[in-house]
Amino acid sequence: MPSQPHLWPLDEDGLVVIPLRLYLLILLLLRPIVSWVLALTMPEQKGEMLAFFYPEQQQFWLACLLAIPTVLLCVALTQRRPKGQAGWFRLWRWGKWLLLLNLIPDLLLTIRALPPYVAVEQPWLLLAPSLLFVAGLWLVRSRRLPLIFSEWPEPAGAKH
């Protein structure tokens, strides 16, 4: 598929449509925050649920700290509309690199936290590192993402 922007579908603001894979990647990178929110909704099992995903409390807080760039990118994504705050474009244009900045340490820490003999005893724990690895390859190789992160809508009411 050629990399000209007019060959990719456009949204109602004339920008290249953000692929579902990008939303899924953001959700994957925000899994410590999502698990925290889920744990807060179940107060009687809060500790057990977080311990299932993050056996050591230090791992959880480090994962939350690593997710901060992705949280900021989510805020910038909400402003990627004509009536949004244009100042967020400064952050948005670095989105691919922010995601990689979040993804690489997340992948390394996720692999480091795997228990011994994980492939035999708990193979489902290999899902997160596998998805992170595939997502990293997609981030690096995608021809559409640089275009998406370079676009920003014109302010509402701007004349062409």
Q: What mean pLDDT do residues 46-71 have?
A: 85
How confident is the model over 87-104, as pLDDT tens digits? 999 999 999 999 999 999
159 assigned to some structural domain: no
Q: pLDDT band at 113, cuts 50/70/90?
A: confident
For residues 54 and 58, which has the higher predicted lDDT (pLDDT)? 58
9 assigned to some structural domain: no
Q: pLDDT band at 125, cuts 50/70/90?
A: confident
70 assigned to some structural domain: yes
Q: What mean pLDDT do residues 140-149 have?
A: 93
How many independent structural domains does the chain possess? 1
Residue 58 has pLDDT above 60, yes or no: yes
- Which of 1-5, 45-49, 104-108, 124-128 is predicted most confidently? 104-108
- CA 44 to mean position of chain CA atoms: 29
Residue 82 has pLDDT above 50, yes or no: yes
Q: What mean pLDDT do residues 15-33 have?
A: 94
107-115's contacts with Cβ under 8 Å and 24+ in sequence apart are 107/132, 107/133, 107/136, 109/59, 109/62, 109/63, 109/66, 113/54, 113/55, 113/56, 113/59
50 assigned to some structural domain: yes
Single-letter code of the amino acid located at 71: V
Bridge partners of residue 16, in order along the sequence: 10
11 assigned to some structural domain: no
pLDDT-wise least confident of 43-52, 54-63, 99-108: 43-52
For residues 136 and 45, which has the higher predicted lDDT (pLDDT)? 136
104 assigned to some structural domain: yes
121 assigned to some structural domain: yes
pLDDT at 57 (0 to 100) = 84
Domain that holds residue 22: 18-150
6 assigned to some structural domain: no
Tokens in use for 84?
A: 């949004």
Tokens in use for 89?
A: 């474009």
pTM for this prediction: 0.85
